[in-house]
């Protein structure tokens, strides 16, 4: 209970910013989860309630459609950066989660309080009892970077069938795969090998692909075909890589299946142009701003959501630069936390 209280009391909101940060103190028992896994959000919820949240009435939120943008690139001097816009068609401020497990790597990840049952009328920070669902935050990341500079992000792929692998391996869901990779992989190659050891089950009835990058400048997109087999797409050596909301192994001919091509083309054209390399995390944020769309504002025809947060992961000197709600006049730098208390939530 001591570490659970320390976790909840670490919740903070800088000034009037519409973003929260929490530090996870103690053991969130990923090792136990990986022994049994989960094929769905309901199975994950049952694991969380059974292990350390038996008294928390965690809901199963109905997650709306979202469309995101990512890119991996290097500065002219070889510094590796990863940019990510998270777009959702519902109010959804970011929650950053810092973890430092005793048996894994420290990381900073981002999620939406929506995934933990919060709404615009019921936000975090309203008292310890109402904040209890935040103890489950390590299990629902949608992007993040760890202390070795491995970055992971998941992106929706509409018009594709969600993968449900059944090869007899331990099952994992979309967000628990992100947690696995942040905690256990230091490079893209290690991440790919880890993913191959589990059966993937896409969450919320939607298809996804994963964009990975590391401090060496390597990157890869992992996606699954109708046969359920994972495919890895890598850029040419030294080239940038972008990802939005269509499969990269085959660019769909039908406009209805090409969600995100305008954003994809704009990012890739910028990064591939002569002299187009991004010079700094701030310049990377400028590119994310160029392909973002303010919530409630005019949007391109292929956009179904507003940009809720933009993050730049510095992979060479691991940290996070965050802007919330398309307000690019303010940003926050979030460093790793390698000294969080170890031990169970019940200790």
Residue 331 and residue 347: Cα distance in Å, rounded?
A: 36
Lowest mean pLDDT among 54-58, 124-128, 336-340: 54-58
- Degrees, nearest 5: CA angle 123-297-282: 75
* Topology classification of domain 2-335: Penicillin V Acylase; Chain A (3.60.60)
Cβ atoms of 284 and 273 within 8 Å: the answer is: no
- What mean pLDDT do residues 233-262 have? 82
DSSP of 278-326: --SHHHHHHHHHHT---TTS---TT--SEEEEEEEEETTTTEEEEEETT
- What mean pLDDT do residues 256-272 have? 85
Q: Using DSSP, state whether 141 is helix, strand or coil.
A: coil
Question: What's the confidence (pLDDT) of residue 221?
Answer: 98
Residue 146 and residue 276: Cα distance in Å, rounded?
A: 27
Lowest mean pLDDT among 59-73, 81-95, 113-127: 59-73
- What mean pLDDT do residues 242-256 have? 77
Question: What's the confidence (pLDDT) of residue 284?
Answer: 97
Average pLDDT, the chain: 88
Q: Report pLDDT digits (tens) over 163-217.
A: 999 999 999 999 999 999 999 999 999 999 999 999 999 977 788 999 999 999 9
Inform me whether the pLDDT recorded for 287 exceeds 80.
yes
- Of 52, 146, 31, nearest in space to 97 by CA: 146
- What mean pLDDT do residues 290-308 have? 68
Question: What's the confidence (pLDDT) of residue 330?
Answer: 94
- What mean pLDDT do residues 276-299 have? 84
pLDDT-derived band at 124 (thresholds 50, 70, 90) equals confident
Integer CA distances (angstroms), 99 to 75, 89, 195, 252, 334, in order: 28, 28, 21, 38, 12
- What residue spans of the chain are helical by DSSP H? 2-9, 30-36, 41-51, 174-184, 188-195, 261-272, 281-290
Residue 127's contacts (CB-CB under 8 Å, 6 or more residues apart) are: none
**Adjacent-strand bridge partners of 75:** none
pLDDT-derived band at 303 (thresholds 50, 70, 90) equals very low
Inform me whether the pLDDT recorded for 324 exceeds 60.
yes
Question: What's the confidence (pLDDT) of residue 33?
Answer: 95
Question: What's the confidence (pLDDT) of residue 301?
Answer: 44
> How many other CB atoms sit within 10 Å of the CB of residue 181?
26
pLDDT-derived band at 14 (thresholds 50, 70, 90) equals confident
- What mean pLDDT do residues 313-332 have? 95
The structure's pTM equals: 0.92
Question: What's the confidence (pLDDT) of residue 295?
Answer: 67
pLDDT-derived band at 56 (thresholds 50, 70, 90) equals low
């Amino acid at each position: 209970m001591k570490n659970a209280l320390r976790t909840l009391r670490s919740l903070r909101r800088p000034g009037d910013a519409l973003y929260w940060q929490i530090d996870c103190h103690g053991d969130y028992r990923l090792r136990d989860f990986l022994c049994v896994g989960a094929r769905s959000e309901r199975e994950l919820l049952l694991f969380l309630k059974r292990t350390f949240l038996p008294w928390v009435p965690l809901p199963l939120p109905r997650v709306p459609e979202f469309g995101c943008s990512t890119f991996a690139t290097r500065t002219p001097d070889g510094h590796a950066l990863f940019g990510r816009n998270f777009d959702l068609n519902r109010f959804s401020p970011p929650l950053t989660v810092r973890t430092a497990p005793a048996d894994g790597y420290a990381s900073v990840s981002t999620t939406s309080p929506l995934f933990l049952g919060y709404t615009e009328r019921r936000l975090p920070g309203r008292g310890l009892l109402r904040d209890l669902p935040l103890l489950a935050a390590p299990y629902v990341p949608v992007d993040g970077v760890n202390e070795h500079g491995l970055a992971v992000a998941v992106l929706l792929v509409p018009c594709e069938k969600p993968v449900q692998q059944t090869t007899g391996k331990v099952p994992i869901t979309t967000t628990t795969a992100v947690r696995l990779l942040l905690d256990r992989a230091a490079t893209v190659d290690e991440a790919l090998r880890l993913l191959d050891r589990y059966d993937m089950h896409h969450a919320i009835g939607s298809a996804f692909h994963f964009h990975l990058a590391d401090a060496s400048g390597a990157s890869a997109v992992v996606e699954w075909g109708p046969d359920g087999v994972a495919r890895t797409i890598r850029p040419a050596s030294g080239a940038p890589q972008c990802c939005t909301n269509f499969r990269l192994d085959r660019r769909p001919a039908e406009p209805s299946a090409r969600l995100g091509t305008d954003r994809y083309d704009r990012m890739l054209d910028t990064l591939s142009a002569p002299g187009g390399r991004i010079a700094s995390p701030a310049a990377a944020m400028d590119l994310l701003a160029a392909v973002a769309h303010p919530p409630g504002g005019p949007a391109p025809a292929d956009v179904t959501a507003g940009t809720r947060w933009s993050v730049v992961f510095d992979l060479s000197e691991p940290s996070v630069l965050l802007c919330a709600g398309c307000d690019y006049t303010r940003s926050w730098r979030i460093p790793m936390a390698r000294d969080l208390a170890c031990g169970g939530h019940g200790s």
